[in-house]
Amino acid sequence: MAFWVLLAIVVIVVFWAIALYNGLIGLRNQVQNGWRQIDIQLKRRHDLIPNLVNTVRGAMEFERDTLTQVMEARSRAVAATGPVDAAKKEGELTQALGRLFALTENYPTLKANENVKMLQEELSSTENKVGFARQFYNDIATKFNTAQQTFPSNIFASMLGFKPAELFEITDAGERAVPAVDLSMKR
Amino acid sequence: MLVFVAFLFFLGYGFDRFYMGGGTMPIPIGSVFALGLGGASAFTSYYAGDRAVLLSTGAVPLTDVGPSAPEEDKLKYRQLQNVVDEMSIAAGLPRPKVFVIPDPDPNAFATGRDPEHASIAVTKGLLDAVNRDELQGVVAHELSHVRNLDIRLMTVIAAMVGAAALIADWSTRGLQMGMGGGSRSRSRSKEGGGGAFGLIVLVIWLIAVIVAPVIGQALAMMVSRRREYLADASGAELTRNPLALASALEKIDRAEAPTASVKRGTANLCIADPLGRAVGLREGGWSNLMASHPPMASRIAALKEMAFQAIPQSQ
């Protein structure tokens, strides 16, 4: 009798361990996939920017500085190494692009141009995708970490060789700072 | 869902008890058989349903309609594709197929048996009515239906409603025949079931049989309404922007016209009730019992509440 009870317990534990292991492997693959997804979207953004610059160049002859800034920020972002560096350079690129888009507002012909509109849509969509890819990565990495760290799986997770995944954080202090908006009605 | 299974089980139990000879069978033959029939019809709709639905609404693949579109629509179509891509990245799902329905009423639905075979269709009217953020909210809602496997769930429920209706149908037929001929043998087996208690069960069961189709439908719609709230909430989790979906819903609500191209069977997969039934203002009315969607006002209120929760300790 005691033997059978013991056997049943062992079988249950083994099945539970298998389920845990497979669940963790699935989550880890999703985390890695999420990470790669961010890279894909960043690459796409880099590919789109020369198109945009070429399209607006003719009309925006006077804004040569801004255009070169965008191209320089882009090549720095392409050359970035490691996630921390990349996050910083991509942030600068976003800011340069923001300035360029703000300037196009001064050119009615550009604003009405279908090509420019399409490129703007593509670029803002790519920015969104980068953001959503990061959001998904953070969500799934959090899930992965929680699965490893909660009891009782925490006992086995490290034994099976799982390490917690790093979360995406804002690395640039400037990006984190809340913009100061002064709404007091000064007279 | 559990209520549903229990209800169906009760129907089947009664059927076996009073028609198959008072629970001498080891398994509930009647309900198993009815479920099998319902399941068979569900099975075909499970595998071919998405194509049938898309065909019946006249939906056109975005990849066909996009390139040949007039210049002012091209941007809209591009936006739709981009928004769907963004949302599938946010949800971590494969890209669904995107369809456009040439209908001026704003609406959208999702179909397909699992995330690998999912399709999202939006009407042209929706594309014209909402801005980019609102479109994102709508697409996130539809993609949430895909992610939560609501399509599969509603198919299973449709099968159960069908099974309940079948049992009820057989039973009422049996009763009519029972009036004429072999009621003697049946009443004997009934008494074998146990006196007063058996009689009470019989009465409750008879009532249940009579109202079964209605109750089945009401239960199905209750599940459908719950899944709508859930899709609203998990859609907002994807965009982190519940207010955009709320304002999209307001716009869809204002365009009251029924979506002519969407048939009744697809109703519970749409973002808003396509039949334009005037349900609505208060929660819990009788008309509400049969609605596939919760009242728009309470959905919008729930979304707005989410937005306020996002601001910690405002005041």
Q: What is the mean pLDDT of residues B57-72?
A: 75
Q: What is the mean pLDDT of residues B34-50?
A: 69
Structure tokens at B143: 């993609």
Contacts 24+ apart (CB under 8 A), A110-114: A110/A56, A110/A59, A110/A60, A113/A55, A113/A59, A114/B71, A114/B74, A114/B75
Q: Report if residue A174 sits inside a domain.
A: no
Question: How do residues B211-223 score in pLDDT, each as one tens digit?
Answer: 777 777 777 778 8
- A9: CATH: 1.20.1440.20
Name residues whose C-beta falls within 8 Å of residue A117's C-beta, 6 or more positions apart in sequence.
Answer: A111, B75
pLDDT of residue A42: 86
Report the gap between the CA of A1 and the closest CA in chain B (Å): 31
Location of structure tokens 């996939």: A33
Range name among A122-126, A149-153, B44-48 with the lowest pLDDT average: B44-48
In 3D space, the residue among A91, A97, A95 whose CA is nearest the CA of residue A77 turns out to be: A91
- Residue of higher predicted confidence among B19 and B165: B165
Which of B142, B191, B250, B305 is labelled catalytic? B142
Q: What is the mean pLDDT of residues B247-271?
A: 68
Contact indicator for A147, A153 with CB cutoff of 8 Å: yes
Q: Which domain holds residue A54?
A: 2-162
Cα gap B65→B46, rounded to integer Å: 27
Range name among A33-42, A171-180, B77-86, B99-108 with the lowest pLDDT average: A171-180
- Residue of higher predicted confidence among B91 and B41: B91
pLDDT of residue B136: 92
Q: What is the mean pLDDT of residues B168-191?
A: 54
What is the percentage of chain B residues whose pLDDT exceeds 70? Answer: 60
pLDDT of residue B84: 93
pLDDT of residue A62: 67
| Best B81, B86, B89 residue to mutate vs chain A (most A CBs within 10 Å) | B89
- Picking from B74, B78, B86, the nearest residue to A132 by CB comes out as B86
pLDDT of residue B27: 54
The count of C-alpha atoms lying within 13 angstroms of the C-alpha of B135, restricted to the half-sphere facing its C-beta, is: 25
CB atoms within 10 A of CB A139: 19
pLDDT of residue A185: 52
Q: Chain B: residue nearest A135 by CA?
A: B90
Q: Report if residue A103 sits inside a domain.
A: yes
Contact indicator for B229, B302 with CB cutoff of 8 Å: yes
Question: How do residues B12-21 score in pLDDT, each as one tens digit?
Answer: 666 666 665 5
Please say if the pLDDT value at position A35 is more than 70. yes
Contact indicator for B242, B306 with CB cutoff of 8 Å: yes
Q: Report if residue A169 sits inside a domain.
A: no
Q: What is the mean pLDDT of residues B136-157?
A: 85
Quote the mean pLDDT of chain B: 73
Cα gap B4→B6, rounded to integer Å: 5
- Residue of higher predicted confidence among A40 and B293: A40
Cα gap B89→B154, rounded to integer Å: 25
Are the beta carbons of A132 and B90 separated by less than 8 Å?
Answer: yes
Cα gap A83→A90, rounded to integer Å: 10
pLDDT of residue A134: 86
Q: Report if residue A185 sits inside a domain.
A: no
Please say if the pLDDT value at position B30 is more than 50. yes
E strand or H helix at A88: helix A83-104
Range name among B156-170, B190-204, B214-228 with the lowest pLDDT average: B190-204
| Best A125, A132, A137, A142 residue to mutate vs chain B (most B CBs within 10 Å) | A132
Contact indicator for B273, B259 with CB cutoff of 8 Å: no
E strand or H helix at A146: helix A114-149
Question: How do residues B76-107 score in pLDDT, each as one tens digit?
Answer: 888 899 999 999 988 888 889 999 988 888 88
Q: Based on the structure, what is the number of domains in chain A?
A: 1
The DSSP-derived string for B160-204 is HHHHHHHHHHHHHHHHHHHHHS-HHHHHHHHHHTTHHHHHHHHHH
In 3D space, the residue among B200, B193, B117, B120 whose CA is nearest the CA of residue B152 turns out to be: B117
Contact indicator for A34, A136 with CB cutoff of 8 Å: yes
Q: Report if residue A84 sits inside a domain.
A: yes
The yes-or-no answer on residue B142 being catalytic is: yes
pLDDT of residue B168: 73
Q: Report if residue A127 sits inside a domain.
A: yes
Report the gap between the CA of A120 and the closest CA in chain B (Å): 10
Contacts of A130 in chain B (CB under 8 A): none
Location of structure tokens 């189709």: B213
Interface ipTM > 0.90: no
E strand or H helix at B100: strand B97-101
Secondary structure of residue B69 in the 3-state scheme: coil
Q: Report if residue A17 sits inside a domain.
A: yes
Residue A99 region by backbone torsions, left for phi larger than 0, else alpha for psi between -120 and 50, else beta: alpha
Contacts of B91 in chain A (CB under 8 A): 136
Task: Report which listed range, A68-82, B54-68, B128-142, B280-294, is most confident.
Answer: B128-142
Name residues whose C-beta falls within 8 Å of residue A103's C-beta, 6 or more positions apart in sequence.
Answer: A60, A63, A66
Report the predicted TM-score, pTM, of the whole model to 2 decimal places: 0.76
Q: What is the mean pLDDT of residues B58-79?
A: 78
Contacts of B75 in chain A (CB under 8 A): 114, 117-118, 121
pLDDT tier at B275 (50, 70, 90 boundaries)? low
E strand or H helix at B82: helix B71-91
Q: Report if residue A177 sits inside a domain.
A: no
Cα gap B307→A47, rounded to integer Å: 36
Question: How do residues A97-108 score in pLDDT, each as one tens digit?
Answer: 888 888 877 878
pLDDT of residue B139: 92
Contacts of B78 in chain A (CB under 8 A): 118, 121-122
Are the beta carbons of A136 and B89 separated by less than 8 Å?
Answer: yes
pLDDT of residue A11: 93
pLDDT of residue B138: 92
Range name among A110-114, B253-257, B298-302 with the lowest pLDDT average: B253-257
Cα gap B162→B43, rounded to integer Å: 12
Cα gap B7→B5, rounded to integer Å: 5
